[in-house]
Structure 1
Amino acid sequence: MINKSVFIASLFSVLLVQGCSNARPDLDDLPRLEERQVELKRSWKTSVDGNFGESSERFNLVAEDNALFLVTEKGTLYELAQKDGHKNSKVETKYKASSGVTRNGDTLYFGTYDGFLVAVSLSTKEVLWETVLSSEVLSEASYAAGKLAVQTTDGRLSLLDAQTGAILWGAKEDIPALTVRGTSSPIIYQGKVLAGFSNGKLNAYSLQSGALQWSYEVGKPEGRYEIERLSDLDGRLVVNNGVVYAVAYNGNLVALSVSSGRPLWQRNIPSSVGLAVKNDQLAVVDMQSKVILLNAKNGSEIWQNNELVNRDLISPEFFRDYLAVIDRESYIHLLDLTTGNIAARRLTNDDVPPGSRLVTGSNQLFLLTPDADVTALSY
């Protein structure tokens, strides 16, 4: 059981992070690295035009077809070669991006602070369409079957025609008086649109009609004060083999059947970031930056690493034989999947601002940092 005072203190720190990153307390000392199993090396580093806004955790790298696709806050889109970071394509736009990209072949989509969703062709370097939504967009859209699902900060989910930008249907959830700034990214899967909201609900809608198929309260607001009642589902949702995994601020990590919404298992693990799933393993970073590896089928714990507590870890990523996490001082740590021990560590760059994003390719770990760099690491 999580100590209530620790949980509330962690929530306060989360809100401070959102409001003023310079006000963060000093980090705990790094743990001693007993034995380095692998040497994490930098393959290449590429600078891009513009940074990644309030936090590059909101921006993403799409790693597909031996390339990386991204947008900077300045509204500049890139296609980089995974092999060496070469800029295959660059498109400048007039928009100020607020979230990462979604890719459909030659077309990239991204959201803005003033509530636009924009479609851009990489080959023609033209804006194909823009659609104004009800509020700002703080997470990437989801594409499937010619449709785009996107969430805005006012609790609205919209489905758009990916070719024209026309809004096909919308759904809305009431948002609490106090929330953590941000939204999760919806997922289109098996004819449904899955979306998590700031009120703690995970909903499944019909892709065709927008009708609500099922709803599950992952985060249940409890407590006397608003900060105790935070229940946001801002971390990324993950779908694997017909199961959707979600985690809420108030401590619930759940696995639900996509078809019915029936809970398969649930753990009381608080987390302010997302999770990662690979095969039968699920990794999550809790509110204190404990790294926990679970059996994705039944929720049983495989191991827990407490060496990086209070180092403000972001969402974990499976990387070959290891689990990768990055802390606020820009140290990347590789954890052994069998034991949970730290197998490698690397400082990616001195004086990098807080808030980075990791994504894995086949043999490389790609890092998006707020100082307008994309870096590839390997071993």
Structure 2
Amino acid sequence: MGCKGGKEKIQGRISPSISGERIFYINAEGELFAFEKSNGRKLWEKETDDQASGGIETAFRKIIYGTLDGEVVVLNQENGEETWRAQATSEILSSPITNGSVVVAQGADGSVTGFDFDDGEQSWIHQVTVPNLSLRGTSTPILNKGLFLQVLQMEQWQ
């Protein structure tokens, strides 16, 4: 990702996320950045100890991402201060999602876990069987008005 004026050069494979007038980005090494959308000016930068994976969600004034260690991490958009972190059953390979009351994360082991938005307590978990051999990656689920949709097997429309 390059910023206007070329002052910040950031490389990585995780997609950035836009929330309001800000762009947020975390790389696989756990370096988290916030930029102004209008001019690319860096607002802040934070070093985390996480190996981020999959992507980030930015909504409801929070930054949410998963890690290779299977943690779901929620931070404040204003300054990157950690709100909570919770352990999922396996590494997170797609972007977590939220509707402001639950954070949903999909694990590489086929689990889909819901965490309370405010405190990170596990609300529910759904486990599906994954093939013994599969490509590394999972689809990002969709959460809208209380409806949760996750594509598990397109051939069987599950």
Q: Which amino acid aligns with 1:47?
A: K
SS class of match (1:170)? strand
Indicate the RMSD between aligned Cα atoms, in angstroms: 2.1
Shift of 1:44: 4.4
Shift of 1:219: 2.0
Q: Which residue of 2 aligns with 1:309?
A: none
Q: Which residue of 1 aligns with 2:134?
A: 179
Alpha-carbon contact 1:90-1:122 (below 8 Å) kept: no
More contact order relative to length (CA 8 Å, sep ≥ 6): 1
Among all aligned residue pairs of Structure 1 and Structure 2, give the percentage whose two residues are the same amino acid.
24
Q: Which residue of 2 aligns with 1:77?
A: 32
Runs (4 or more) in structure 1 with deviation over 4 Å come to none
Matched, 1:47 2:2: no
**TM-superposition CA deviations, 1:69-95 (whole Å, max 9, x none):** 111112122111222211012222111
Q: Which amino acid aligns with 2:125?
A: G
Matched, 1:62 2:17: yes
* Equivalent-residue separation in structure 2 for 1:124 and 1:116 (angstroms): 20
* Equivalent-residue separation in structure 1 for 2:59 and 2:119 (angstroms): 13
* Equivalent-residue separation in structure 1 for 2:28 and 2:94 (angstroms): 13
SS class of match (2:149)? strand
Q: Which residue of 2 aligns with 1:97?
A: 52
* Equivalent-residue separation in structure 1 for 2:140 and 2:72 (angstroms): 14
**TM-superposition CA deviations, 1:292-313 (whole Å, max 9, x none):** xxxxxxxxxxxxxxxxxxxxxx
Matched, 1:170 2:125: yes
Q: Which amino acid aligns with 2:145?
A: Q
Q: Which amino acid aligns with 2:95?
A: E
Consecutive unaligned residues of structure 2, counting only runs of 5 or more, are: none
Q: Which residue of 2 aligns with 1:140?
A: 95
Q: Which residue of 2 aligns with 1:159?
A: 114
Q: Which residue of 2 aligns with 1:15?
A: none
Q: Which residue of 2 aligns with 1:356?
A: none
Q: Mark the CA change 1:126 to 1:63 in structure 2 (over 3 Å): closer, same or farther.
A: closer
Q: Mark the CA change 1:193 to 1:169 in structure 2 (over 3 Å): closer, same or farther.
A: same
Q: Mark the CA change 1:124 to 1:66 in structure 2 (over 3 Å): closer, same or farther.
A: closer
Matched, 1:118 2:118: no
Q: How many residues were matched structurally?
A: 155
Alpha-carbon contact 1:69-1:80 (below 8 Å) kept: yes
**TM-superposition CA deviations, 1:46-90 (whole Å, max 9, x none):** 323xx43xxx1xx22212312211111121221112222110122
Q: Which residue of 1 aligns with 2:148?
A: 193
Q: What TM-score do you get using the length of structure 2 for normalisation?
A: 0.87
Shift of 1:123: 3.0
Shift of 1:186: 0.9
Shift of 1:163: 1.3
Alpha-carbon contact 2:62-2:77 (below 8 Å) kept: yes
SS class of match (1:109)? strand
SS class of match (1:85)? coil
Q: What TM-score do you get using the length of structure 1 for normalisation?
A: 0.38
**TM-superposition CA deviations, 1:306-362 (whole Å, max 9, x none):** xxxxxxxxxxxxxxxxxxxxxxxxxxxxxxxxxxxxxxxxxxxxxxxxxxxxxxxxx
Residues 210-359 of structure 1 mapped to structure 2, 5 A cutoff: 218-220=154-156
Alpha-carbon contact 2:73-2:86 (below 8 Å) kept: yes
Q: Which has the larger radius of gyration?
A: 1
Q: Mark the CA change 1:83 to 1:123 in structure 2 (over 3 Å): closer, same or farther.
A: closer
Q: Which amino acid aligns with 1:154?
A: D
**TM-superposition CA deviations, 1:230-274 (whole Å, max 9, x none):** xxxxxxxxxxxxxxxxxxxxxxxx8xxxxxx9xxxxxxxxxxxxx
